Amino acid sequence: MAPPSIDELAAVAAALAAPGKGLLASDESTGTIGKRLEKGGIENTAENRRAYRELLYTAPGIGGAFSGVIMFKETLGQCASDGTPFVEVLRRAGVMAGIKVDEGLVPLEGGEEGETSTRGLETLEAACRQYVAQGARFAKWRAALRVEEGRCPSDLAVKVNAEQLAEYAAICQAAGLVPIVEPELLIDGPHSAETFAAASEKAIAACVAALWRRGVALEACLLKPQMVVQGTECSAPRAAPEQVAAATLRVMRRVVPPAVAGIMFLSGGQTEEEATRNLDAINKLAKEEGRAPWSLSFSFGRGLQASVLKIWSNAPPSRASEARAMAGALAEANAAAARGEFAGRHPSVTSAPGATLHETWRGWRTDVDPAAAPPPAPALALAGV
């Protein structure tokens, strides 16, 4: 069977970016979800991972809040407790299945300390064919870029990661998958919101240029950036949602072409409540100004899961229904924010003053045993792609 045409992929992208709907990012690798499970006293086993994802995928009302769910390759092949494949569980709810296709971060040869590129291009074409056969409709590839005043992201890191994202997107479209392009700028460090905004412009503009060079159809892809926020160690007071909204929209208008189907923001270590209120402010401002040619929605992981996992962790089976209800409440809150209509109390139980969902392992850790680390990416070979 021939892969979908660009027009068909554009229709899928438009459906994923449907007004008032967003994406649940449940594509954590076995190691990442394991850290979160074990933090709550839950053993990192395949069955526990499956049971936790089933709770998320069967939450009430997800069909009205989510257009798609990003899955890890293990989860794509798993089933609900009644034997129904997860892909089918989601399809019955009106939700499309997506798949994380990158193989994680590696140190960037020639880059600044801690800079990375992403693995997985060598086997991506064959993997995409397999994922399509398993029912995936879209894909995600994550690049991670450090932000440091006057130093990071380096020109090399921006170029290499932009080229990798563009090559991934081209391979996905050829295979029949809508690509989500994720140049994540990490919030680690003391940088200001102004520094973060400049780095965001630089990274996203490079990605757009690389997509053009690769011939990627922008109407058949989605962008997954971070909102413009200051670093976790910044001494300035936390920006109000209205400030985050103004800074974020300014960057997006400068560098994201109108042809892009949708902008699906990541939560990136913000608390659940911060992520929701910032998204709501972005959409309120966009509606007030009437100058946003794309859907402005969410592709949240921790921002949709932290409270669910807290309730489910170390809890008797009878609390599974409570955790499932929390998953539905968080989905509903963010769907409202994607319409600019969120109001009232946030359902989160993890957003107390001073709380954080920041995870230090989201970038490349310098304390990794070199003997156990994957080899660095050959930056020079990629720079001329």
* Pairing relationship of beta strands 262-265 and 116-118 according to DSSP bridges: unpaired
- CA 278, CA 193: separation in Å to the nearest integer? 14
Query: Active-site residue among 182, 272, 274, 332?
Result: 182
Token digits of residue 178: 């809508």
Task: Give residue for tokens 């930056």.
Answer: 379
Catalytic residue selected from 167, 224, 272, 273 = 224
Q: What is the DSSP letter of 375?
A: P
Annotated active-site residue 224? The verdict is: yes
State yes or no: is 182 an active-site residue. Answer: yes
CB 226 within 8 A of CB 187: yes
- Owner of token pair 């229709």: 11
Cα separation, 132 vs 237, in Å, equals: 46
Q: At what angle do helices 46-57 and 30-39 cross, to 10 degrees?
A: 90
> Is the previous residue joined to 4 through a cis bond, with omega within 30 degrees of 0?
no
Tokens 């890191």 belong to residue: 157
Q: How far apart are CA 332 and CA 286, in angstroms?
A: 20
Number of helices followed by number of strands (H, E) in the chain: 14, 10
- Selection from 205, 219, 341, 331 nearest residue 282 by Cα: 341
Q: Backbone dihedral region of 21: left (phi > 0), alpha (psi from -120 to 50 degrees) or beta?
A: beta
Catalytic positions, please?
A: 182, 224
